[in-house]
Structure 1
Amino acid sequence: MKTPIHLWIVGVVSLVWNSGGAFDYVMSKTQNADYLANLPAEAIEFLNNTPLWFDAAWAIGVWFSVLGSLLLLFRSRLAGSAFALSLVGLIVSSVYTYGLAEQRTFEAGGTAALIFSIAIPIVLILLWIYARAMTRRGVLH
C-alpha cells in the first residue's frame, strides 16, 4: 500500500510537537540556567520538589510520544502502543501535577501553561487514534 501524504505530514508535525516536550524535559532535568531563567520561580520550585514517580511518569510520557512519532514515520504498527504508553505517563504525572502538588504548574505559568495543559492530552489522544486508524487500514505494519 502506498503511504498517504497525510501520514508524513502528521508524522513530521507530531515529531516537531513532541520534540518541544522532549526539549522541555531535558532542559528541566539538566537544570539549564538559561532555560529556567524564563520560568516563574513557582514553576522552578515545582520542578525541584517532584517525587521520583512523577519524574518517571513524565519521562515515559515525553519519550514514548517522541518514539510514537518516529514509529509513525517508520510506518510501524507499534506507534499506537507508544502513544498509548505516553498517555499513561501523562495521566500518572497529571495526578501529581493537578491533584497532589501544592503548586499547580498552570497557575505558575499563566495562560500559556493552561493552554498547553489542555492541548497536550488532546493532541496525544488524537495521535493515538490516528495511529490505530492507520494500523487498521494497513498503512502501518
Structure 2
Amino acid sequence: MTEAVETRGPRAPWWFWLVAALSAAWNAFGAYDYTMTQLKGDAYLQAAGMRPDQIAYFHSMPTWTTAVWALGVWGAVAGSGLLFARSRWALHAFTASLAGLVLSLVYTHLMSKGGEIMGQTGVIMNAVILAGCLIFVWYAARVTKQGLLR
C-alpha cells in the first residue's frame, strides 16, 4: 500500500492570510475608485474633492494612460485573489500591476504637468500607492521563495 504524497506545500501561517486580506481590502479600494471614475465620471471626481482644472487634466490624458491604470488596478486585484489561491502567479500579477503604476507615474510626472496640477496631495497619494505596490510585489516574491505559493 502506498501513501498519498502531499504536493500542496507547507501550510500557510495565519499572517499569510492576514496579508492576503489586507491586500484584498487595499486593492478593492483601487478597483472601486477605477470603476466609479469610469462609470460616474465628473460627479465622482468632484465628490472626491478634485478641482475643475484637475478634472480637465484627467480628461486630457491619452487613452493609453487609462489602459495602464486598468493594468495597475486589475493586476493588483488579480494578485490579491491569487494570493488567496496560493498561486505563484500572484507575483506576476502584482508585478504587472507595478508596471502599470510606473507607466502611469511616468506620464503624470515626466510627460505632462500632472504632478503640478494634482499638487502635493496627488504626489503623496502616488507615493503611498507606489509603496503599497512595492510591498505586495516583495511579499509575493518572499512567500513564493518560502514555498507558500505553488
TM-score, L = length of structure 1: 0.89
How far off its partner does 1:109 sit? 5.5
Aligned position for 1:62: 73
Q: Tell which deviates more after alignment, 70-79 or 35-44.
A: 35-44
TM-score, length of structure 2 as denominator length: 0.85
- TM-fit CA distance, 1:128: 0.6
Q: In the aligned structure 1, how far is the partner of 2:118 from the partner of 2:144?
A: 40
Does residue 84 of structure 2 align to residue 73 of structure 1? yes
Number of residue equivalences: 139
Residue among 28, 32, 46 paired with 1:23: 32
Shift of 1:97: 0.9
Q: 1:52 to 1:33 in 2, by over 3 A?
A: closer
Quote the residue 1:119 is aligned against: 128
Q: Structure 1 residue 48 and structure 2 residue 67: aligned?
A: no
Distance in 2 (CA, whole Å) between partners of 1:52 and 1:41 is 20
Measure, in 2, the Cα distance between the counterparts of 1:124 and 1:34.
Answer: 28
The one-letter amino acid paired with 2:76 is S
Deviations 1:61-93 (A, max 9, x none): 110011101111111110000000111111111
Match of 2:113 in 1: 102
Identity across aligned pairs (percent)? Answer: 36
- RMSD, aligned α-carbons: 1.6
- Per mean C-alpha deviation after superposition, the further-off stretch among 122-131 and 25-34 is 25-34
Equivalent position amino acid for 2:138 in 1: I
Matched, 1:134 2:143: yes
Q: Which runs of 4+ in 1 moved over 3 A?
A: 31-34
Structure 2 residue matching 1:46: 3-state secondary structure: helix
Secondary structure, in 3 states, of the residue corresponding to 1:37? helix
Residue ranges of structure 2 left out of the alignment (5+ in a row) = 1-9
